[in-house]
Amino acid sequence: MIKVGVVGYGYWGPRLVRNFHSLDNCEVAVICDRSADSLRRAKQAYPHVQVTTDLKEVLASTEIDAVAVVTPVWTHYELAKAALENGKHVFVEKPFTSSAAQAKELIDLADRKHLQIMVDHTFLFTGAVRKIRQLINDGSMGSLYYYDSTRVNLGLFQHDVNVIWDLAPHDLSIMDHLIDAKPQFVTATGQSHLNGLEDLAYITVYFENQVMAHINVNWLSPVKVRTTLLGGEKKMLVWNDLEADEKVKVYDKGVSIANGEGVYNLLVSYRSGDMWSPKLDQTEALSTEANYFISCIEQSETPFNDGAAGLRVVKLLEAAEQSLKARGKAVPV
Ligand SMILES: NC(=O)c1ccc[n+]([C@@H]2O[C@H](COP(=O)([O-])OP(=O)(O)OC[C@H]3O[C@@H](n4cnc5c(N)ncnc54)[C@H](O)[C@@H]3O)[C@@H](O)[C@H]2O)c1
């Protein structure tokens, strides 16, 4: 039985507690939050779980094997570091840390202590992303051309990070997982209108082999959109995460060019075949991920969404932030 302490019981923390709590081989031993209100909610939902405002009770407990850090981004480094120093495996919310330097330090610390770090890149555990990864792996998509994502909504405004650090980690972690080519440059533009933090941004990532990604993140959209296009040489797909059924639609569409004589005689042919919607695993992503975390600890296995994956995302976020401040200058990754 792996015993977990969860730090942070605001919006996301309860979802994590519910999923850890539902596993047979995991026990949520303690929930820690600074806010008495949050702890009242926790006690109501889980009367038998210990609650505390004192982080030391989590860190000093010899019973606890792992700590989940579900607090605001700027606290991740400090809390994860304290947990690792006290010999606990850590599950850290996205984005892993506020800087690449912090991420590297935590990775080194975990290595020295033989502890696991898992970064909550939740979308990698959805049926949609797992199916898309499979379609790329088995060659159905052909070489990838682009990833194009729109992730917009009215809010939720964050107080500590801009829209890039809030919403783009989802797409950057999905791209990191799906695109085998290495990112080379990032450009980003954006604007803040209300609280000094950018509330909309457009990020472009240039990869090797002419693969390109574009992400539109926005807290000022009148409607919620969660749509991603993936273009491949053999197939193209649309993933609409808001669809109840048929979230992913794969199109047998494409373009091929035959060389005629000279540039004006290029023969462009368009292929427009069938569309199909693959069946997706409906299991809640966080449940699959929580299960995987516990199994990685039990088996001493390094998760694929480890500290190194978290660091790759933070490096892209830093590059995007730097480009944003320079009004879209290309920043090498
Ligand atoms: N994976 C996802 O899809 C997803 C979704 C939402 C949020 N998140 C991430 O989860 C984290 C938390 O976000 P949220 O929306 O739940 O925030 P929130 O503000 O609703 O909750 C944070 C909680 O942490 C508590 N807290 C803050 N500092 C603390 C400390 N030092 N010790 C103990 N408790 C402390 C606060 O009192 C609050 O209850 C963020 O990193 C966010 O990026 C991830």
The confidence score (pLDDT) of residue 256 equals 87
**Cβ-count burial of 219 within 10 angstroms (0-12 exposed, 13-18 middle, 19+ buried)?**
buried
Instruction: Give the residue, by CA position, lying nearest to ligand 1 atom 28.
Output: 71
135-161 pLDDT, tens digit per residue, is 999 999 999 999 999 999 998 998 889
Q: What is the mean pLDDT of residues 275-293?
A: 98
User: How many A from CA of 7 to the centre of ligand 1?
Assistant: 9
The confidence score (pLDDT) of residue 258 equals 80
Contact 314, 100 (CB under 8 A): yes
Secondary structure of residue 21 in the 3-state scheme = helix
Instruction: Give the residue, by CA position, lying nearest to ligand 1 atom 39.
Output: 10
What's the length of the chain? 333
The confidence score (pLDDT) of residue 198 equals 97
Q: pTM for the complete prediction?
A: 0.96
Distance in angstroms (rounded) separating the CA atoms of residues 297 and 305: 13
39-66 pLDDT, tens digit per residue, is 999 999 999 999 999 999 999 999 999 9
Can you list the alpha helix ranges (DSSP code H) found in 152-279? 163-178
The number of beta carbons lying within 10 Å of the beta carbon of residue 125 is 21
Mean pLDDT over the full length of the chain: 96
Strands 89-93 and 117-120: parallel
160-207 pLDDT, tens digit per residue, is 899 999 999 999 999 999 999 999 999 999 999 998 999 999 999 999
* φ and ψ at residue 92, rounded to 5 degrees: -115, 140
Ligand 1: list residues with CB < 6 Å. Answer: 7-13, 32-35, 38, 55, 70-73, 75, 93-94, 120, 122
How far, rounded to the nearest angstrom, does the alpha carbon of residue 22 sit from its chain's CA centroid?
22
Contact 184, 206 (CB under 8 A): yes
* 257 band by pLDDT with thresholds 50, 70 and 90: confident
Q: What is the mean pLDDT of residues 242-258?
A: 93
